[in-house]
A and B are shown apart, each in its own frame.
Chain A
Amino acid sequence: ETGVTQTPRHLVMGMTNKKSLKCEQHLGHNAMYWYKQSAKKPLELMFVYSLEERVENNSVPSRFSPECPNSSHLFLHLHTLQPEDSALYLCASSQGTGNYGYTFGSGTRLTVV
């Protein structure tokens, strides 16, 4: 148990579907992150939330919509995705600015068909 739980572990969705990824942390951290990890590509930081406020959005397409209702939960809402959005989506959390390191969840393997 890493302290950061992501659900579901695997998701297959059609391009017209709407789905959500969920991340929950039980570490008392106050910052949360979404990363995208595609095959043969480096980790891509998508969104950063600090104290439930979005502080960074790295030019992510609007078909990805994050939500952070409280410091323990983070969602990534998905709609009208493309096949190239298939990837491992990783959630992480940290205390403060995160310069002491992050704790990662196990990820959600997303396949868009």
Chain B
Amino acid sequence: AQSVTQLDSQVPVFEEAPVELRCNYSSSVSVYLFWYVQYPNQGLQLLLKYLSGSTLVKGINGFEAEFNKSQTSFHLRKPSVHISDTAEYFCAVSDVTGSSNTGKLIFGQGTTLQVKP
């Protein structure tokens, strides 16, 4: 079975500063990895995903994440944040084969990014 740990529940940062949201996972099988963003009173929107290939994945809104297999991490980064990036961010993992857990995504607890002016 897989599990996901988001190491920070809240990350405050000033506008135009860089940010990193941390995500670690555990799994006995190969995984796919995802970051979702949730704005207030909205559903989750896919930011980016790692399925295979380059370990550096670029997503929407200037975000990127790097898959590090040896450290079982998939940290999300942005070089310069905007007020509009204030939201909840969720890391998620799934089993590559799709055979376990009904292939469902396992979500982390979420990290609230608070961008201050």
Q: Produce 1/0 per residue, B24-58, CB < 8 A to A.
A: 00000000101010000111111001010000000
Q: Kindly identify, within residues 1 to 16 of chain A, every residue whose CB is under 8 Å from any CB belonging to chain B.
A: 2, 4, 6
User: Which of B11-19, B63-71, B72-80, B100-108 is the interface stretch?
Assistant: B100-108
Point out the residues of chain B lying under 8 angstroms from A33, CB to CB: 104
Number of residues from B at the complex interface, CB < 8 A: 27
User: Which of A43-51, A66-74, A77-85 is the interface stretch?
Assistant: A43-51
- When chains A and B are docked, how far (Å) is the Cα of A86 from the Cα of B34? 28
B83 within 8 A of A: no
- When chains A and B are docked, how far (Å) is the Cα of A90 from the Cα of B34? 18
Q: Are A101 and B41 in contact (CB under 8 A)?
A: no
Known A42-B107, A101-B49, A102-B105: A96·B98 in contact at CB below 8 Å: yes
CB distance from A11 to the nearest CB of B (A): 13
Q: Produce 1/0 per residue, B78-117, CB < 8 A to A.
A: 0000000000001010111111001111011110000000
Please give the residue numbers on chain A whose beta carbons come within 8 Å of chain B beta carbons, in ascending order: 2, 4, 6, 33, 42-43, 45, 48, 50, 55-56, 88, 90, 92, 94, 96-107, 109
Q: A96-B98, A104-B44 are in contact. List 4 more A-B contacts (CB 8 A).
A: A43-B107, A97-B102, A101-B49, A105-B43
A-B contact pairs, 19 of them (CB 8 A): A4-B43, A42-B107, A43-B90, A45-B104, A50-B102, A90-B43, A90-B44, A94-B103, A96-B98, A98-B94, A98-B103, A99-B32, A99-B94, A99-B105, A100-B94, A101-B92, A102-B105, A104-B43, A106-B42
